Amino acid sequence: MTTAVCPGSYDPPTNGHLDVFERAAGLFDEVVVLIGVNKSKKGLFSVDERITLLAGAIAHLDNVRVDSWYGLTVDYCAANGVQAIVKGLRTASDFDYELPMAQMNQQLTGVETLFLPTRPGLSHLSSSLVKEVAAFGGNVEGMLPEEVHARLLARLAEQA
């Protein structure tokens, strides 16, 4: 069985993320959406909340599940028999950032990284930008799975 991870913070998950998960699901027997835990960073949503949001967003994908990990993604891969890391790329600067990491991961453990170019209609989406636009009252409907959109608006209202 071939397994891949799609690592990220997913705070919050966007439709761009979901597109990568769906496409990876067609390439691998199992895909793990892996939430990287960084205790020094305070996200808008807790790791448990992100797990719940992602689980709802991927419920239609039978071979995709959500997990979290504190540490190096390649250590998760080694501990769980994962063969590949899948990353979505929006821009050339994403590639410039991701390539050295992919090369380091391959050197450390032999795990390969596959890059999926983002679909043109989704390439502008990032969790940070979506949060910022929503915080200033901009309409981000259609940029996030419906449940994520509702939770984002609710969380921002709680903080106002």
Residues 6+ apart with CB under 8 A from 48: none
Q: Tell me how far apart the alpha carbons of residues 38 and 76 are, in angstroms, rounded to a whole number.
A: 14
Instruction: Considering the candidates 23, 65, 90, 155, report the single residue annotated as catalytic.
Output: 90
CB 5 within 8 A of CB 73: yes
| Active-site residue flag, 127 | yes
Element (H, E) at 31: strand 30-36
Written as six digits, the tokens of 38 are 């960084």
Instruction: Considering the candidates 39, 40, 41, 42, report the single residue annotated as catalytic.
Output: 41
- Pairing mode, strands 112-117 and 30-36: unpaired
Among 42, 20, 44, 26, which Cα is nearest to 34's? 20
Among 115, 51, 61, which Cα is nearest to 84's? 115
Instruction: Considering the candidates 50, 87, 127, 149, report the single residue annotated as catalytic.
Output: 127
Question: Which residues carry out catalysis?
Answer: 17, 41, 90, 127
